[in-house]
Amino acid sequence: MGNAAGTPKPYDAILFDFDGVLADTEPLHYECWAEALGPLGISLDWETFRAHGVGLTDLALIEFLAAQSPAKIELDAIRSKVQEKKRLFIEKAATRSAVTAQTCEIVKTLNSYKMAVVTSSSRLEVEPLLNRAGILGSFSAMVFGKEAGRPKPAPDPYLLAASRLEAKSALVVEDSEAGLASGRAAGFDVLHIPHPDLLPELLTAALGLAKNGKNPGCVRQPAL
């Protein structure tokens, strides 16, 4: 955080990453990538994905995987699996809940802030999960994939989201190094979320909010 400890800074907007922040979807992304890439002989382990895949675009991830593969694999062969991975994710996500009740509750209490989702994932991978959790309508703007131009860690995605909200003082909420760097490069304070289960506690503290009771209007969803 860019402000002094114990002195919450006033913000006019909160800009959330999606995967690993609002939703615990990274294990599902990993599962789908591993399944899609298996026929190419690419063995993707969880630790490698966590270290090099979280927060990156699909293109950045497959370029890394092609470079690291012990057998020579053409980049186009891996690129051909991107749509399959997306299909698998959408299919599997339809039967799972990724947003916890606690995250849903705090989002519902933040209606005094303008809010946006800023993610490297596609609209089809994000909106259904937010809609199922009952919080899709809480966000006034969304930035998906490459629509901002340069992806994270460039500042473009967060600058575009802030522009759409007409925000001057935003808090960026992120889990990945690329996302944190993007928020800082955009000139905003950033809040690091090590795991989505910690979002309610850490965001409440960062905003200096009193812990409120449960919001009865929230759709309750178990963690992924």
DSSP letter assigned to residue 129: H
Give residues with Cβ within 8 angstroms of 152, minimum separation 6: 55, 56, 120, 176, 178, 179, 181, 182
Q: What is the CA radius of gyration of the chain?
A: 18
Question: Position of tokens 């991978």?
Answer: 125
Superfamily for the 13-24+98-207 domain: HAD superfamily/HAD-like (3.40.50.1000)
Q: Which pLDDT tens digit goes with each residue over 202-219?
A: 999 999 986 544 333 333
In degrees, rounded to 5, the angle at the alpha carbon of residue 196 between the alpha carbons of residues 193 and 81 is 105
CATH code of 26-93, in short, is: 1.10.150.240
Whether 26-93 and 13-24+98-207 are alike in CATH topology: the answer is: no
Q: Which of 18-27, 43-52, 102-111, 139-148 has the lowest mean pLDDT?
A: 43-52
DSSP letter assigned to residue 214: -
3-state secondary structure 24-62: CCHHHHHHHHHHHHHHHCCCCCHHHHHHHCCCCCHHHHH
Given a cut of 60, is residue 2 above it in pLDDT?
no
Q: Which pLDDT tens digit goes with each residue over 29-66?
A: 999 999 999 888 888 899 988 887 887 778 888 888 88
Q: Which of 59-63, 101-105, 140-144, 205-209 has the lowest mean pLDDT?
A: 59-63
Mean per-residue pLDDT of the chain: 87
What predicted TM-score, i.e. pTM, was given to this entire model? 0.81
- The Cα diameter of the chain in Å comes to 56
Boundaries of every domain in the chain: 13-24+98-207, 26-93
